[in-house]
Amino acid sequence: MKDTLKFYNDFPKPGIVFVDIIPFLQDKRKFARLVDEIGACVTAPNIAAPEARGFLFTAPLLLAKPEVKNIIPIRKSGKLPFNEGDLREVAVVKEYGTDKLFYRVSDIAAGELSADGAFHISIVDDVLATGGTAEGIAESLCRGKVAVDGEEHPVIIDEFVFLVGLDDLRGAERLEKIAPVKVLMHI
């Protein structure tokens, strides 16, 4: 599977080696295998997926894995319409700068509550570098409660799943303080 990846030096800025996972979208057989492998790692009924590549590899799980009930899109500024009080901000520190992402509480509430009364969520993304994006998302998701029918419910992160892990950047160590980290391809 690693042979499918492409690498671009100095993108998006000098000193960064960009890992391109888009070639998986160019081979139906490899894409199906990758979706199956992601599905085998996911234990939660709800998945938080940062844009945009996170969407590409998690949406098929709604069909391929019956246990997956809901995808929670994590978007950049201005990409999610929202009602007053529904939008939450995620501050992230990446290996090449800071960013802000957003999600809607109503997207979590649309998901499945587990028997323990919590929304269990798997965070699935393409590449694990320093772990800043995933850590910011997890901390924000767990910080607040989600109201359903007048009752508040906590969010629990069950695991982080990544297609590729850049092991030298040690992002997994950072995230394991929150939940287990599962990486399909190590670089």
pLDDT digits over 127-177, tens only? 999 999 999 999 999 998 999 999 999 999 999 999 999 999 999 999 999
Q: Is the pTM of this model over 0.75?
A: yes
In 10 A of CB 19, how many CB atoms? Answer: 18
pLDDT in tens, 12-46: 888 888 899 999 999 999 999 999 999 999 999 99
Percent of the chain with pLDDT over 70: 98
- Give the DSSP H/E element, type plus range, for residue 106: helix 105-109
Burial status of residue 7 (CB atoms within 10 A of its CB: 0-12, 13-18, 19 or more): exposed
Instruction: Report the alpha-carbon distance of residue 39 to residue 101 in Å, rounded.
Output: 25
Fold topology of 2-186 = Rossmann fold (3.40.50)
Question: In this structure, what token pair is assigned to residue 109?
Answer: 């509430």
∠77-22-175 over CA atoms, to 5°? Answer: 60
- What's the one-letter identity of residue 124? V
Flag the least confident range among 10-14, 110-114, 122-126. Answer: 10-14
Structure tokens at 95: 């290996």
Q: Which pLDDT value is given to residue 95? A: 65
Distance of CA 121 to the CA centre of its chain: 9
**Range among 46-60, 71-85, 107-121 rated most confident:** 107-121
96: pLDDT strictly greater than 70 = no
101: β partners: 76, 90
What amino acid occupies position 121?
I
d(CA 53, CA 44): 20
